[in-house]
Amino acid sequence: MKTQEAIDVFLEAKIGESAPKTIAWHKGNLQRFSSFIGENQCVESIDIRQLRQWRASLNQRNISAWTLHGYLRTIRHFFNWLEEEEMLEQNPAKRLKLFRLPKPPRKGIPDADRDAMLSMRRDNVRDFAILMFVATTGCRIGGVTTLTIDNLDIENRTAIITEKGQKSRTVFLGSKAANALQSWLDVRPSTNAREIFVQKEGKGLTSSGIYQVFKRAAKDASVKKNWNPHQWRHAFARNFLRNGGDIGMLSQILGHSSLHVTLIHYGSLENKDLQNAHLKFAPKVA
């Protein structure tokens, strides 16, 4: 089988299994690989030496460690899949090692900026409810757009959202967020739309619409950076751990595919946070 043909089969198999953005990401990485290796080369003839030559060519392009790591993960996933589907007898990517990533930069909107944005939206019932929902659940922007009347249980402070394709999960609300959502439902326009958050015309807000809510709040609060919804998700995770939360529980709350993903992004705390945790949890010795 030619390399490009194998790539097409792989991408087709991922439809319905992975989120569209993930498939598009794999496609871009694989097209670059195909251009280097030759789209007409038999995939069975690709060996570890060629994979290492491809990796070396990437190193010469002055790309970030995170981008390079992503390329390598895609290629390993591609060849592992071919082996699992019995399209390859020998998997050359098994010896294509992943390197240790550098410590990621600290992410998340500062608490003061988050609170300033919330303060600027207290009089806008819908926007305040959106901000509070993200602040207390740590959900992705897609989770906000998929929140429906049927999947919100304000009394028990839970909601079911769908993110990253078709992955549904339960998120949990604080009392203030539940109150904010109830206040919005009390004045929400009458509409046939099942989405909780709608425009004035009654149509459900898109991801772009949710993003604009955050952008306007940031502008009014004079917050210049780290204001987008995903930075609020990072802040939720950071504060969860800072307050003594378990990283395994955090992984499930955030809807990560594995604990390893959570550890990569949030496994390192600042010395001040570690010292406070040490004072709280370390055994007391007489």
* CATH 1.10.443.10 residue ranges for the chain: 111-269
Query: Which CATH number is 111-269 given?
Result: 1.10.443.10
The pLDDT confidence band at residue 178, using thresholds 50, 70 and 90, is: very high
Whether residue 27 has pLDDT greater than 90: yes
- Check residue 165 and give its pLDDT: 65
DSSP for the chain, please give it: -BHHHHHHHHHHHHBTTB-HHHHHHHHHHHHHHHHHH-TTSBGGG--HHHHHHHHHHHHTTT--HHHHHHHHHHHHHHHHHHHHTTS-SS-GGGG-PPPPPPPPPP-S--HHHHHHHHHHTTT-HHHHHHHHHHHHH---HHHHHT-BGGGEETTTTEEEEEETTTEEEEEE--HHHHHHHHHHHHHPPP-S--BSSB-TTSPBP-HHHHHHHHHHHHHHTT--SS-SHHHHHHHHHHHHHHTT--HHHHHHHHT-S-HHHHHHHHS---HHHHHHHHHHHSPP--
Domain with CATH 1.10.150.130 in the chain: 3-95
CB contact set of 259 (below 8 Å; sequence gap of 6+) = 247, 248, 251
pTM listed for this prediction: 0.68
Angle at 120 between CA 218 and CA 152, to 5 degrees: 90
Q: What is the pLDDT of residue 263?
A: 75
The CATH number of 3-95 is which of 2.30.110.10, 3.40.50.1820, 3.40.47.10, 1.10.150.130?
Answer: 1.10.150.130
Q: Give the pLDDT confidence score for residue 247 in this predicted structure.
A: 86
CB 184 within 8 A of CB 196: yes
Q: What is the pLDDT of residues 60-82, one digit of tens each?
A: 887 888 888 889 999 999 999 99
Report the sign of the C-alpha dihedral through residues 279, 281, 285, 286, in that order: positive
Lowest mean pLDDT among 1-10, 239-248, 265-274: 265-274
pLDDT given for residue 98 in this prediction: 82
Strands 167-172 and 158-163: antiparallel
pLDDT exceeds cutoff 80 at 274: no
Structure confidence at residue 267 (pLDDT): 67
Quickly tell me which residue has 């994979």 as its tokens: 51
The C-alpha atoms of residue 156 and residue 175 are separated, in whole angstroms, by: 10
